[in-house]
Structure 1
Amino acid sequence: MMITDTHTHLYSEAFDEDRAEMMTRALETGVSRFFIPAIDSSYTEAMLDLEAKFPDYVHLMAGLHPTSVKENYKEELAHVEELLAKRSFCAIGEIGIDLYWDTSTLEIQKEAFRHQIQLAKKYQLPIVIHCRDAFDEIFEVLETERGEDLFGIFHCFTGNLEQAQRAIGFNMKLGIGGVVTFKNGGLDKFISEIDLKHIVLETDSPYLAPKPFRGKRNESAYIIKVVEKLSELYGVTQEEIANITTQNSKDIFSI
Protein backbone atom coordinates (compact mmCIF):
# COMPACT_ATOMS: atom_id res chain seq x y z
CA MET A 1 0.00 0.00 0.00
CA MET A 2 1.50 3.32 -1.12
CA ILE A 3 0.37 6.33 0.88
CA THR A 4 1.12 9.95 0.00
CA ASP A 5 1.45 12.70 2.60
CA THR A 6 0.75 15.80 0.52
CA HIS A 7 1.57 18.26 3.30
CA THR A 8 4.18 17.73 6.00
CA HIS A 9 6.73 20.07 7.57
CA LEU A 10 9.44 17.44 8.00
CA TYR A 11 12.10 20.14 8.32
CA SER A 12 10.43 21.48 11.48
CA GLU A 13 12.53 21.85 14.61
CA ALA A 14 10.04 19.46 16.23
CA PHE A 15 11.82 16.60 14.42
CA ASP A 16 15.42 17.64 15.04
CA GLU A 17 15.96 14.97 17.71
CA ASP A 18 14.59 11.96 15.81
CA ARG A 19 14.03 12.86 12.14
CA ALA A 20 15.60 9.67 10.73
CA GLU A 21 13.60 7.45 13.08
CA MET A 22 10.42 9.36 12.27
CA MET A 23 11.01 8.85 8.54
CA THR A 24 11.63 5.14 9.11
CA ARG A 25 8.30 4.83 10.94
CA ALA A 26 6.52 6.55 8.08
CA LEU A 27 8.14 4.37 5.42
CA GLU A 28 7.28 1.23 7.38
CA THR A 29 3.65 2.41 7.51
CA GLY A 30 3.57 2.70 3.71
CA VAL A 31 4.14 6.43 3.33
CA SER A 32 6.73 6.87 0.59
CA ARG A 33 5.83 10.25 -0.91
CA PHE A 34 6.27 13.41 1.18
CA PHE A 35 5.35 16.85 -0.16
CA ILE A 36 6.97 19.68 1.78
CA PRO A 37 5.39 23.15 1.98
CA ALA A 38 7.45 26.30 2.47
CA ILE A 39 6.89 28.95 5.14
CA ASP A 40 9.45 31.70 4.47
CA SER A 41 13.14 32.24 3.67
CA SER A 42 14.26 31.33 7.20
CA TYR A 43 13.39 27.67 6.44
CA THR A 44 14.85 27.39 2.94
CA GLU A 45 18.17 25.91 4.06
CA ALA A 46 16.45 23.33 6.28
CA MET A 47 14.18 22.31 3.39
CA LEU A 48 17.11 21.86 1.01
CA ASP A 49 18.97 19.83 3.65
CA LEU A 50 15.93 17.60 4.09
CA GLU A 51 15.74 16.98 0.34
CA ALA A 52 19.45 16.14 0.26
CA LYS A 53 19.00 13.54 3.02
CA PHE A 54 15.87 11.91 1.55
CA PRO A 55 16.02 12.60 -2.20
CA ASP A 56 13.93 9.57 -3.20
CA TYR A 57 10.97 10.51 -1.04
CA VAL A 58 10.86 14.27 -0.49
CA HIS A 59 9.42 16.87 -2.89
CA LEU A 60 9.75 20.57 -2.10
CA MET A 61 7.37 23.48 -2.65
CA ALA A 62 8.31 27.16 -2.83
CA GLY A 63 6.18 29.91 -1.36
CA LEU A 64 5.43 32.44 1.36
CA HIS A 65 3.04 31.34 4.12
CA PRO A 66 0.34 33.95 4.87
CA THR A 67 1.34 34.30 8.52
CA SER A 68 4.81 35.29 7.28
CA VAL A 69 3.41 38.12 5.17
CA LYS A 70 4.84 41.05 7.12
CA GLU A 71 6.40 44.43 6.31
CA ASN A 72 9.18 42.68 4.36
CA TYR A 73 6.81 40.55 2.26
CA LYS A 74 8.11 41.93 -1.04
CA GLU A 75 11.63 40.77 -0.14
CA GLU A 76 10.22 37.36 0.76
CA LEU A 77 8.36 37.15 -2.55
CA ALA A 78 11.58 38.08 -4.35
CA HIS A 79 13.25 35.16 -2.55
CA VAL A 80 10.52 32.81 -3.83
CA GLU A 81 11.01 34.10 -7.37
CA GLU A 82 14.78 33.64 -7.08
CA LEU A 83 14.33 30.01 -5.99
CA LEU A 84 11.90 29.29 -8.83
CA ALA A 85 14.35 30.69 -11.36
CA LYS A 86 17.16 28.45 -10.05
CA ARG A 87 15.55 25.01 -9.82
CA SER A 88 12.33 23.04 -10.05
CA PHE A 89 9.69 22.73 -7.33
CA CYS A 90 6.56 20.59 -7.17
CA ALA A 91 4.14 23.42 -6.24
CA ILE A 92 3.74 26.95 -4.96
CA GLY A 93 2.76 26.60 -1.34
CA GLU A 94 1.70 27.02 1.19
CA ILE A 95 0.05 30.28 0.24
CA GLY A 96 -3.25 31.90 1.06
CA ILE A 97 -4.89 33.97 3.76
CA ASP A 98 -4.90 33.56 7.55
CA LEU A 99 -7.12 35.89 9.58
CA TYR A 100 -6.88 33.91 12.82
CA TRP A 101 -3.64 35.50 13.99
CA ASP A 102 -3.72 38.92 12.36
CA THR A 103 -6.48 40.68 10.42
CA SER A 104 -4.49 43.89 9.95
CA THR A 105 -2.40 42.35 7.15
CA LEU A 106 -5.38 41.23 5.04
CA GLU A 107 -4.66 43.49 2.07
CA ILE A 108 -0.99 42.52 1.76
CA GLN A 109 -1.92 38.86 2.34
CA LYS A 110 -4.29 39.10 -0.62
CA GLU A 111 -1.61 40.78 -2.71
CA ALA A 112 0.96 38.10 -1.83
CA PHE A 113 -1.56 35.33 -2.50
CA ARG A 114 -2.49 36.72 -5.92
CA HIS A 115 1.16 37.30 -6.85
CA GLN A 116 2.07 33.70 -6.00
CA ILE A 117 -0.90 32.33 -7.94
CA GLN A 118 0.47 34.19 -10.94
CA LEU A 119 3.90 32.67 -10.32
CA ALA A 120 2.28 29.23 -10.28
CA LYS A 121 0.65 29.95 -13.61
CA LYS A 122 3.94 31.17 -15.04
CA TYR A 123 5.70 27.95 -14.03
CA GLN A 124 2.65 25.75 -14.70
CA LEU A 125 2.60 24.54 -11.10
CA PRO A 126 -0.23 23.72 -8.68
CA ILE A 127 -0.89 25.92 -5.67
CA VAL A 128 -1.34 24.65 -2.11
CA ILE A 129 -3.74 26.89 -0.19
CA HIS A 130 -3.66 27.74 3.51
CA CYS A 131 -7.01 29.09 4.68
CA ARG A 132 -7.85 30.01 8.26
CA ASP A 133 -10.93 32.07 9.08
CA ALA A 134 -10.76 33.32 5.49
CA PHE A 135 -12.95 31.26 3.12
CA ASP A 136 -14.71 34.30 1.66
CA GLU A 137 -11.45 36.16 1.13
CA ILE A 138 -9.75 33.12 -0.44
CA PHE A 139 -12.66 32.54 -2.81
CA GLU A 140 -12.67 36.22 -3.77
CA VAL A 141 -9.04 35.99 -4.93
CA LEU A 142 -9.55 32.62 -6.64
CA GLU A 143 -12.52 34.02 -8.55
CA THR A 144 -10.31 36.72 -10.08
CA GLU A 145 -7.71 34.09 -11.05
CA ARG A 146 -10.09 31.37 -12.23
CA GLY A 147 -8.94 29.40 -15.28
CA GLU A 148 -7.65 26.09 -16.58
CA ASP A 149 -4.18 27.08 -15.39
CA LEU A 150 -5.41 27.44 -11.79
CA PHE A 151 -5.34 24.13 -9.89
CA GLY A 152 -4.00 22.60 -6.72
CA ILE A 153 -4.92 21.58 -3.18
CA PHE A 154 -7.02 23.26 -0.52
CA HIS A 155 -4.75 22.22 2.34
CA CYS A 156 -6.22 21.17 5.70
CA PHE A 157 -9.77 21.60 4.47
CA THR A 158 -12.09 22.27 7.41
CA GLY A 159 -15.05 23.93 5.73
CA ASN A 160 -18.59 22.74 5.13
CA LEU A 161 -20.07 20.84 2.17
CA GLU A 162 -20.93 23.99 0.23
CA GLN A 163 -17.39 25.36 0.70
CA ALA A 164 -15.94 21.99 -0.31
CA GLN A 165 -17.94 22.00 -3.54
CA ARG A 166 -16.92 25.58 -4.26
CA ALA A 167 -13.24 24.74 -3.71
CA ILE A 168 -13.54 21.77 -6.08
CA GLY A 169 -15.07 24.15 -8.62
CA PHE A 170 -11.74 26.00 -8.69
CA ASN A 171 -9.90 22.78 -9.70
CA MET A 172 -8.80 22.13 -6.13
CA LYS A 173 -8.41 18.80 -4.38
CA LEU A 174 -9.30 18.78 -0.69
CA GLY A 175 -6.42 18.02 1.67
CA ILE A 176 -7.85 15.79 4.42
CA GLY A 177 -5.87 15.14 7.59
CA GLY A 178 -6.28 14.55 11.31
CA VAL A 179 -9.34 16.81 11.65
CA VAL A 180 -11.50 14.12 10.01
CA THR A 181 -10.87 11.92 13.06
CA PHE A 182 -11.95 14.60 15.57
CA LYS A 183 -15.28 14.09 17.33
CA ASN A 184 -16.40 17.67 16.67
CA GLY A 185 -14.35 18.31 13.55
CA GLY A 186 -17.41 18.28 11.31
CA LEU A 187 -15.76 16.72 8.26
CA ASP A 188 -16.99 13.23 9.11
CA LYS A 189 -20.59 14.42 8.71
CA PHE A 190 -20.36 15.08 4.97
CA ILE A 191 -17.00 14.05 3.51
CA SER A 192 -18.37 10.82 2.03
CA GLU A 193 -20.64 12.96 -0.17
CA ILE A 194 -17.48 14.18 -1.93
CA ASP A 195 -16.18 11.83 -4.62
CA LEU A 196 -12.82 10.34 -3.63
CA LYS A 197 -11.33 11.67 -6.87
CA HIS A 198 -11.31 15.09 -5.17
CA ILE A 199 -9.45 13.98 -2.00
CA VAL A 200 -5.76 13.86 -1.09
CA LEU A 201 -4.26 12.88 2.26
CA GLU A 202 -2.04 14.97 4.50
CA THR A 203 -0.79 15.25 8.06
CA ASP A 204 0.41 18.87 8.35
CA SER A 205 2.87 17.35 10.81
CA PRO A 206 4.04 18.27 13.38
CA TYR A 207 0.58 19.86 13.77
CA LEU A 208 -2.99 18.50 13.95
CA ALA A 209 -2.29 14.93 15.05
CA PRO A 210 -5.26 12.59 14.54
CA LYS A 211 -6.96 10.64 17.27
CA PRO A 212 -5.66 8.93 19.38
CA PHE A 213 -2.57 11.18 19.21
CA ARG A 214 -4.47 14.48 19.32
CA GLY A 215 -2.56 17.13 21.25
CA LYS A 216 0.79 15.41 20.67
CA ARG A 217 3.39 15.96 17.97
CA ASN A 218 2.05 14.74 14.65
CA GLU A 219 4.20 12.74 12.22
CA SER A 220 3.70 11.24 8.78
CA ALA A 221 3.24 7.68 10.07
CA TYR A 222 0.02 8.82 11.78
CA ILE A 223 -1.58 9.35 8.38
CA ILE A 224 -2.70 5.72 8.65
CA LYS A 225 -5.34 6.95 11.13
CA VAL A 226 -6.72 9.23 8.43
CA VAL A 227 -6.74 6.31 5.97
CA GLU A 228 -8.59 4.17 8.50
CA LYS A 229 -11.20 6.87 9.17
CA LEU A 230 -11.84 7.54 5.48
CA SER A 231 -12.08 3.80 4.84
CA GLU A 232 -14.80 3.64 7.48
CA LEU A 233 -16.66 6.72 6.20
CA TYR A 234 -16.56 5.75 2.52
CA GLY A 235 -17.11 2.03 3.08
CA VAL A 236 -14.12 0.98 0.98
CA THR A 237 -10.82 -0.71 1.83
CA GLN A 238 -7.84 1.15 3.20
CA GLU A 239 -5.93 0.08 0.07
CA GLU A 240 -8.53 1.79 -2.10
CA ILE A 241 -8.26 5.01 -0.08
CA ALA A 242 -4.46 4.90 -0.37
CA ASN A 243 -4.48 4.08 -4.09
CA ILE A 244 -7.04 6.69 -5.16
CA THR A 245 -5.60 9.51 -3.07
CA THR A 246 -2.06 8.73 -4.22
CA GLN A 247 -3.20 8.82 -7.85
CA ASN A 248 -4.91 12.14 -7.15
CA SER A 249 -1.63 13.49 -5.76
CA LYS A 250 0.15 12.34 -8.92
CA ASP A 251 -2.44 14.14 -11.04
CA ILE A 252 -1.81 17.36 -9.10
CA PHE A 253 1.97 17.30 -8.71
CA SER A 254 2.85 15.33 -11.88
CA ILE A 255 5.21 13.28 -9.70
Structure 2
Amino acid sequence: MDFKLGLTDTHTHLYSEEFDADRNEMIERAIQKGVSRFFVPSIDSSYTQKMYDLENQFPENVFLMMGLHPTYVKENYLEELAHVERELEKRKFQAIGEIGIDLYWDKTFLKQQQHAFQHQIQLAKKYNLGINIHCRDAFDEVFEVLESEKAEDLFGIFHCFTGDLDQAQRAISLGMKLGIGGVSTFKNGKIDQFLNEIDLQNIVLETDSPYLAPVPYRGKRNESSYTFLVAEKLATIYNVAIEEIASVTTENSKKIFGI
Protein backbone atom coordinates (compact mmCIF):
# COMPACT_ATOMS: atom_id res chain seq x y z
CA MET A 1 0.00 0.00 0.00
CA ASP A 2 1.33 3.44 -0.96
CA PHE A 3 0.64 5.70 2.01
CA LYS A 4 1.68 8.71 -0.06
CA LEU A 5 -1.18 8.63 -2.56
CA GLY A 6 -2.12 12.20 -1.64
CA LEU A 7 -5.89 11.66 -1.64
CA THR A 8 -8.20 14.53 -0.66
CA ASP A 9 -11.52 14.07 1.13
CA THR A 10 -13.33 17.23 0.04
CA HIS A 11 -16.29 16.73 2.38
CA THR A 12 -16.13 15.09 5.80
CA HIS A 13 -17.96 15.88 9.04
CA LEU A 14 -15.04 15.05 11.33
CA TYR A 15 -16.75 16.79 14.27
CA SER A 16 -19.75 14.44 14.12
CA GLU A 17 -20.85 12.90 17.40
CA GLU A 18 -20.49 9.51 15.69
CA PHE A 19 -16.71 9.92 15.94
CA ASP A 20 -16.60 10.96 19.60
CA ALA A 21 -15.28 7.56 20.74
CA ASP A 22 -12.41 7.24 18.24
CA ARG A 23 -11.97 10.50 16.30
CA ASN A 24 -8.17 10.69 16.46
CA GLU A 25 -7.75 7.02 15.53
CA MET A 26 -10.19 7.45 12.62
CA ILE A 27 -8.24 10.44 11.28
CA GLU A 28 -4.91 8.62 11.67
CA ARG A 29 -6.38 5.61 9.80
CA ALA A 30 -7.26 7.88 6.92
CA ILE A 31 -3.78 9.43 6.84
CA GLN A 32 -2.30 5.91 6.77
CA LYS A 33 -4.54 5.16 3.76
CA GLY A 34 -3.06 8.11 1.88
CA VAL A 35 -5.77 10.66 2.68
CA SER A 36 -3.74 13.73 3.65
CA ARG A 37 -6.27 16.55 3.25
CA PHE A 38 -9.69 16.80 4.94
CA PHE A 39 -12.13 19.61 4.07
CA VAL A 40 -14.74 20.10 6.77
CA PRO A 41 -18.08 21.74 5.95
CA SER A 42 -20.03 23.80 8.45
CA ILE A 43 -23.60 22.94 9.49
CA ASP A 44 -24.54 25.72 11.89
CA SER A 45 -23.06 27.79 14.73
CA SER A 46 -23.28 24.96 17.26
CA TYR A 47 -20.39 23.14 15.51
CA THR A 48 -18.05 26.09 14.93
CA GLN A 49 -15.88 25.61 18.01
CA LYS A 50 -15.54 21.87 17.33
CA MET A 51 -14.29 22.74 13.85
CA TYR A 52 -11.69 25.14 15.24
CA ASP A 53 -10.54 22.52 17.75
CA LEU A 54 -10.02 19.98 14.95
CA GLU A 55 -8.07 22.49 12.89
CA ASN A 56 -5.83 23.25 15.89
CA GLN A 57 -5.22 19.57 16.47
CA PHE A 58 -4.46 18.68 12.82
CA PRO A 59 -3.25 21.96 11.27
CA GLU A 60 -1.48 20.24 8.35
CA ASN A 61 -4.49 18.15 7.36
CA VAL A 62 -7.78 19.81 8.34
CA PHE A 63 -9.21 22.77 6.40
CA LEU A 64 -12.48 24.51 7.17
CA MET A 65 -15.51 25.84 5.33
CA MET A 66 -18.08 28.22 6.77
CA GLY A 67 -21.81 28.25 6.00
CA LEU A 68 -25.35 27.35 7.02
CA HIS A 69 -26.60 23.92 5.95
CA PRO A 70 -30.05 24.04 4.29
CA THR A 71 -31.69 21.58 6.70
CA TYR A 72 -30.64 23.91 9.54
CA VAL A 73 -32.44 26.87 7.96
CA LYS A 74 -35.21 27.43 10.53
CA GLU A 75 -36.99 30.38 12.17
CA ASN A 76 -33.65 31.74 13.42
CA TYR A 77 -31.84 31.47 10.07
CA LEU A 78 -31.04 35.20 9.88
CA GLU A 79 -29.17 34.92 13.19
CA GLU A 80 -27.27 31.93 11.79
CA LEU A 81 -26.39 33.86 8.63
CA ALA A 82 -25.14 36.70 10.81
CA HIS A 83 -22.88 34.18 12.58
CA VAL A 84 -21.51 33.05 9.20
CA GLU A 85 -20.74 36.67 8.28
CA ARG A 86 -19.00 37.36 11.60
CA GLU A 87 -16.76 34.31 11.23
CA LEU A 88 -15.87 35.24 7.64
CA GLU A 89 -14.83 38.69 8.81
CA LYS A 90 -12.59 37.22 11.51
CA ARG A 91 -10.49 34.67 9.61
CA LYS A 92 -9.76 32.77 6.40
CA PHE A 93 -11.85 29.81 5.25
CA GLN A 94 -11.36 27.59 2.21
CA ALA A 95 -14.97 27.70 0.95
CA ILE A 96 -18.56 28.60 1.80
CA GLY A 97 -20.40 25.41 2.63
CA GLU A 98 -22.26 23.39 2.91
CA ILE A 99 -25.05 25.46 1.42
CA GLY A 100 -27.96 24.75 -0.89
CA ILE A 101 -31.50 23.41 -0.80
CA ASP A 102 -32.92 20.23 0.76
CA LEU A 103 -36.56 19.32 0.17
CA TYR A 104 -36.26 15.71 1.31
CA TRP A 105 -36.92 16.27 5.01
CA ASP A 106 -39.04 19.40 5.07
CA LYS A 107 -40.41 21.88 2.55
CA THR A 108 -41.61 24.36 5.19
CA PHE A 109 -38.66 26.72 4.86
CA LEU A 110 -38.12 26.58 1.08
CA LYS A 111 -38.23 30.37 0.64
CA GLN A 112 -35.80 30.85 3.52
CA GLN A 113 -33.53 28.12 2.11
CA GLN A 114 -33.51 29.87 -1.26
CA HIS A 115 -32.68 33.19 0.38
CA ALA A 116 -29.92 31.66 2.54
CA PHE A 117 -28.42 29.88 -0.48
CA GLN A 118 -28.35 32.99 -2.64
CA HIS A 119 -27.04 35.18 0.17
CA GLN A 120 -24.19 32.76 0.89
CA ILE A 121 -23.26 32.56 -2.80
CA GLN A 122 -22.94 36.33 -2.71
CA LEU A 123 -20.71 36.04 0.37
CA ALA A 124 -18.54 33.55 -1.53
CA LYS A 125 -18.13 36.07 -4.33
CA LYS A 126 -17.33 38.82 -1.84
CA TYR A 127 -14.52 36.74 -0.32
CA ASN A 128 -13.46 35.11 -3.61
CA LEU A 129 -14.26 31.63 -2.28
CA GLY A 130 -15.78 28.55 -3.85
CA ILE A 131 -19.09 27.11 -2.68
CA ASN A 132 -19.93 23.60 -1.54
CA ILE A 133 -23.48 22.71 -2.58
CA HIS A 134 -25.89 20.40 -0.77
CA CYS A 135 -28.81 19.36 -3.02
CA ARG A 136 -31.43 16.78 -2.08
CA ASP A 137 -34.69 16.43 -4.01
CA ALA A 138 -34.06 19.98 -5.20
CA PHE A 139 -32.13 20.02 -8.49
CA ASP A 140 -34.53 22.47 -10.16
CA GLU A 141 -34.51 24.82 -7.18
CA VAL A 142 -30.72 24.70 -6.83
CA PHE A 143 -30.15 25.33 -10.53
CA GLU A 144 -32.59 28.25 -10.48
CA VAL A 145 -30.48 30.01 -7.83
CA LEU A 146 -27.18 29.07 -9.53
CA GLU A 147 -28.39 30.41 -12.88
CA SER A 148 -29.41 33.69 -11.24
CA GLU A 149 -25.88 34.02 -9.77
CA LYS A 150 -24.00 32.68 -12.83
CA ALA A 151 -20.71 34.56 -13.20
CA GLU A 152 -16.97 34.16 -13.76
CA ASP A 153 -16.46 34.24 -9.99
CA LEU A 154 -19.01 31.50 -9.26
CA PHE A 155 -17.23 28.18 -8.72
CA GLY A 156 -17.24 25.27 -6.32
CA ILE A 157 -18.26 21.67 -5.74
CA PHE A 158 -21.64 20.02 -6.24
CA HIS A 159 -21.29 17.84 -3.15
CA CYS A 160 -22.55 14.24 -3.18
CA PHE A 161 -23.62 14.50 -6.81
CA THR A 162 -26.42 12.01 -7.55
CA GLY A 163 -27.97 13.48 -10.68
CA ASP A 164 -28.00 12.30 -14.29
CA LEU A 165 -25.60 13.13 -17.14
CA ASP A 166 -27.53 16.24 -18.22
CA GLN A 167 -27.57 17.59 -14.66
CA ALA A 168 -23.85 16.81 -14.32
CA GLN A 169 -23.06 18.77 -17.47
CA ARG A 170 -25.25 21.64 -16.34
CA ALA A 171 -23.50 21.80 -12.97
CA ILE A 172 -20.10 21.81 -14.69
CA SER A 173 -21.23 24.59 -17.06
CA LEU A 174 -22.01 26.68 -13.96
CA GLY A 175 -18.47 26.35 -12.62
CA MET A 176 -18.91 23.30 -10.39
CA LYS A 177 -16.81 20.18 -9.91
CA LEU A 178 -18.74 17.03 -9.03
CA GLY A 179 -18.16 15.61 -5.54
CA ILE A 180 -18.13 11.82 -5.92
CA GLY A 181 -18.34 9.52 -2.91
CA GLY A 182 -19.81 6.25 -1.73
CA VAL A 183 -22.88 6.41 -4.00
CA SER A 184 -20.57 5.62 -6.94
CA THR A 185 -20.06 2.13 -5.45
CA PHE A 186 -23.79 1.37 -4.97
CA LYS A 187 -25.46 -1.06 -7.40
CA ASN A 188 -28.41 1.31 -7.72
CA GLY A 189 -26.32 4.49 -7.53
CA LYS A 190 -26.50 4.99 -11.33
CA ILE A 191 -23.79 7.64 -11.58
CA ASP A 192 -21.18 4.93 -12.32
CA GLN A 193 -23.07 4.31 -15.59
CA PHE A 194 -22.15 7.68 -17.13
CA LEU A 195 -19.29 9.01 -15.04
CA ASN A 196 -16.66 8.03 -17.63
CA GLU A 197 -18.38 10.47 -20.02
CA ILE A 198 -17.38 13.29 -17.62
CA ASP A 199 -13.79 14.48 -17.91
CA LEU A 200 -11.82 13.57 -14.79
CA GLN A 201 -10.81 17.24 -14.57
CA ASN A 202 -14.34 17.89 -13.28
CA ILE A 203 -14.27 15.34 -10.43
CA VAL A 204 -13.27 15.54 -6.77
CA LEU A 205 -13.45 12.80 -4.15
CA GLU A 206 -15.39 12.92 -0.89
CA THR A 207 -16.86 10.67 1.77
CA ASP A 208 -19.53 12.82 3.48
CA SER A 209 -18.57 10.75 6.52
CA PRO A 210 -20.15 9.57 8.74
CA TYR A 211 -22.88 9.20 6.08
CA LEU A 212 -23.10 7.21 2.81
CA ALA A 213 -20.35 4.66 3.37
CA PRO A 214 -19.18 2.92 0.18
CA VAL A 215 -19.47 -0.79 -0.52
CA PRO A 216 -18.54 -3.02 1.31
CA TYR A 217 -19.42 -0.82 4.30
CA ARG A 218 -22.77 0.44 3.00
CA GLY A 219 -25.18 1.05 5.88
CA LYS A 220 -22.37 1.34 8.41
CA ARG A 221 -20.55 4.44 9.66
CA ASN A 222 -18.53 6.10 6.92
CA GLU A 223 -15.05 7.49 7.58
CA SER A 224 -12.43 9.42 5.64
CA SER A 225 -10.14 6.42 5.07
CA TYR A 226 -12.83 5.11 2.71
CA THR A 227 -11.87 7.85 0.24
CA PHE A 228 -9.46 5.16 -0.92
CA LEU A 229 -12.39 2.88 -1.85
CA VAL A 230 -14.02 5.67 -3.86
CA ALA A 231 -10.71 6.24 -5.66
CA GLU A 232 -10.49 2.51 -6.40
CA LYS A 233 -13.99 2.57 -7.90
CA LEU A 234 -13.15 5.57 -10.08
CA ALA A 235 -9.94 3.89 -11.24
CA THR A 236 -12.16 1.06 -12.53
CA ILE A 237 -14.72 3.41 -14.10
CA TYR A 238 -12.05 5.51 -15.87
CA ASN A 239 -9.74 2.55 -16.52
CA VAL A 240 -6.69 4.33 -15.09
CA ALA A 241 -4.35 3.72 -12.16
CA ILE A 242 -5.50 4.77 -8.70
CA GLU A 243 -2.43 7.04 -8.53
CA GLU A 244 -3.82 9.03 -11.46
CA ILE A 245 -7.24 9.32 -9.79
CA ALA A 246 -5.54 10.58 -6.61
CA SER A 247 -3.31 13.04 -8.45
CA VAL A 248 -5.96 14.54 -10.74
CA THR A 249 -8.75 14.80 -8.16
CA THR A 250 -6.44 16.40 -5.59
CA GLU A 251 -5.25 18.93 -8.19
CA ASN A 252 -8.93 19.64 -8.95
CA SER A 253 -9.58 20.24 -5.24
CA LYS A 254 -6.68 22.72 -5.12
CA LYS A 255 -8.35 24.76 -7.86
CA ILE A 256 -11.50 25.05 -5.75
CA PHE A 257 -10.02 25.49 -2.29
CA GLY A 258 -6.88 27.42 -3.22
CA ILE A 259 -4.54 25.15 -1.22
What TM-score, normalized by structure 2, do the two folds share? 0.98
Distance in 2 (alpha carbons) for counterparts of 1:125 and 1:117: 9
Deviations 1:41-67 (A, max 9, x none): 010111111111111100000000000
Distance in 1 (alpha carbons) for counterparts of 2:90 and 2:96: 14
SS of corresponding position for 2:209: coil
Distance in 2 (alpha carbons) for counterparts of 1:66 and 1:23: 27
Q: How does 1:142-161 map to 2 (within 5 A)?
A: 142-161=146-165
Whether 2:60 is the aligned partner of 1:56: answer yes
> Where does the alignment leave 5 or more consecutive residues of structure 1 unmatched?
none
Deviations 1:146-189 (A, max 9, x none): 00010000000000000000000000000000000000000111
SS of corresponding position for 1:148: coil
Distance in 2 (alpha carbons) for counterparts of 1:160 and 1:143: 18
Which residue does 2:199 correspond to in 1?
Answer: 195
Whether 2:183 is the aligned partner of 1:183: answer no
Which residue does 2:41 correspond to in 1?
Answer: 37
* Residues paired across the two proteins, number: 255
Which residue does 2:225 correspond to in 1?
Answer: 221
Distance in 1 (alpha carbons) for counterparts of 2:15 and 2:55: 9
Which residue does 2:28 correspond to in 1?
Answer: 24
SS of corresponding position for 2:74: coil
Which residue does 1:204 correspond to in 2?
Answer: 208
Among 3, 9, 13, the alignment partner of 1:9 is 13
Distance in 1 (alpha carbons) for counterparts of 2:203 and 2:125: 22
Q: How does 1:4-153 map to 2 (within 5 A)?
A: 4-153=8-157
Deviations 1:90-123 (A, max 9, x none): 0000000000001121111000000000000000
Among 224, 232, 246, the alignment partner of 2:236 is 232
Distance in 1 (alpha carbons) for counterparts of 2:67 and 2:256: 17
Give the aligned residue type for 1:80: V
Distance in 1 (alpha carbons) for counterparts of 2:73 and 2:60: 32
Give the aligned residue type for 2:155: F
Question: Where does structure 1 differ by over 2 angstroms across 4 or more consecutive aligned residues?
Answer: none
Distance in 1 (alpha carbons) for counterparts of 2:237 and 2:147: 31
* CA positional deviation for 1:138: 0.3
Which residue does 1:163 correspond to in 2?
Answer: 167
Distance in 1 (alpha carbons) for counterparts of 2:214 and 2:90: 37
